[in-house]
Amino acid sequence: MITTLATVAAAPTLQAAEQSGGNWLVTVVVFLLMLGLLVVVHELGHFLVARWAGIKVEEFGVGYPPRALTLFEHDGVKYTLNWLPLGGFVRFAQGSDGVGETLYGAGGSLAAATPWRKIAVMVAGPLMNLLLAMVIFAILFATLGIPTPTGGQEISQVFPDTPAAAAGFQPGDELISLDERPVTDTAVIGDVARENLGRPVPAVVRRDGRELTLTVTPGPWTSPDGDRYESGFGFSYGPKVEQVQAGPLQAVVSGVTYSLDLTGRMVRALAGLPASILGLFSPAPSPDGEPIGPVGIARATGEVIQQPGGFAAFWNLTAVLSLNLFLLNLLPIPALDGSHIIFALVEWIRGGKKVPPEKEALVHAIGFAALMGLMLLITVNDVINAFRGTPVLGGG
């Protein structure tokens, strides 16, 4: 199963987009195409490995039930579109009527499969998302070049009535150092702000090929949408990079290594996910960013396609979300792939003794209900942010 839950902190390669009206219809269509690709690739992993392992598949669904229509049926599998566009699923035969065992042998149903076969099927979906991200990044690197950090941070927005605006920062500035500390790591900016609250610090920026020294006093500031930050500067930023041309082999290698590096950063960002979720109940913005659901992802899609080079930014976002789904679906959350893997591992450790099916089904049902509740909460927050005009990508 695949779910469309992501975290803003998991997309560090994307810079903030300027807010604009845009065409909402184009945004919706592009978002649905992206979601469809992520769903189909993920479920295709489950599907192909299940067929290879001799496990009967009854339905390949895009979206969650109720069913909207059956596209076609082939080799005993129904391919369907469903009304709730939050993910997708592969429905396996359970073998309760013996049909799976008759056609496919003792391992025909998922329940009757050996633990290692279950694990292989469950892991295949997330791995396909990892592979998709690697392929996308490799193609982007081969066509546009490999993004290579220059060592500084590029200022993309300077918010009005903030310490950054008062100091004279401008969009397009490359921030080289703060308080005589290089800003090769974005965490330095937040550290300097907290350590020097109310005290002027020097900031070296590169503007139009020349280096300038500005004096900025970190302090409280309020974003245009009303969020108040107790310490900071009032600009959005991201690593300043240059596109270095590369051959096909180097692009493939870089696509793999970049995906793995980004996955590692996402794992570290996941540590702040509980605090981010709790932050939805707080009027103060979470320092770890907010989790986003389908509405937030759709808005992020709209923001990136409005950027210069929006086509490449769209595929960059698609790859980042694919990595999100790789990680999130491996978490041991009931109803997700990771939970099924845990139950299969328990069965394996117990020498093939299964957890009673009714107990496992209850755990997954409760987990799915909780997941949908969380998705509803996040969606409400996404809608509120949309009405307030809060950008999804960026700010700080």
The tokens 């491996």 sit on which residue? 330
Q: What percent of the chain has pLDDT over 90?
A: 41
The domain locations on the chain are 2-53+113-144+275-388, 149-244
- In 3D space, the residue among 328, 252, 315 whose CA is nearest the CA of residue 13 turns out to be 315
Q: Mean pLDDT, to the nearest integer, of 301-325? A: 82
Query: What DSSP designation does 361 have?
Result: H
Query: What DSSP designation does 310 have?
Result: H
Query: What DSSP designation does 308 have?
Result: T
pLDDT of 6 strictly over 70: no
Q: What six digits make up the tokens of 141? A: 């690197």
CA 172 to chain CA mean position, Å: 26
For 243-266, write each residue's pLDDT tens digit: 899 899 999 999 999 999 999 888
Q: How far apart are CA 266 and CA 275, in angstroms?
A: 15
Report the mean per-residue pLDDT for the chain: 81
Q: How far apart are CA 208 and CA 231, in angstroms?
A: 29
pLDDT of 288 strictly over 60: no
Rama region for 232: left / alpha / beta (φ>0; ψ in -120 to 50; rest) = left
Q: How far apart are CA 33 and CA 16, in angstroms?
A: 22
pTM above 0.75, yes or no: no
pLDDT value for 25: 79
Q: What is the DSSP string of 68-137?
A: EEEEEEETTEEEEEEEEEEEEEEEEP--TTSHHHHHH-TTSSTTTS-HHHHHHHHHHHHHHHHHHHHHHH
Please say whether the beta carbons of 196 and 203 come within 8 A: no
pLDDT value for 133: 96
- More confident of the two residues 34 and 387: 34
For 114-134, write each residue's pLDDT tens digit: 899 999 999 999 999 999 999
Indicate the SS3 state at residue 173. coil
For 320-337, write each residue's pLDDT tens digit: 899 988 988 898 888 788
CATH of 149-244, one of 2.60.40.420, 2.30.42.10, 3.40.50.300, 1.10.3720.10: 2.30.42.10
Please name every residue paired with 235 in a beta bridge, in sequence order, or none if there are none: 158
pLDDT of 18 strictly over 70: no
For 23-42, write each residue's pLDDT tens digit: 777 788 888 888 889 989 99
pLDDT of 213 strictly over 80: yes
Helix (H) or strand (E) holding 340: helix 337-349
**pLDDT bracket for residue 392 (50, 70, 90):** low
Number of residues written out for the chain: 396
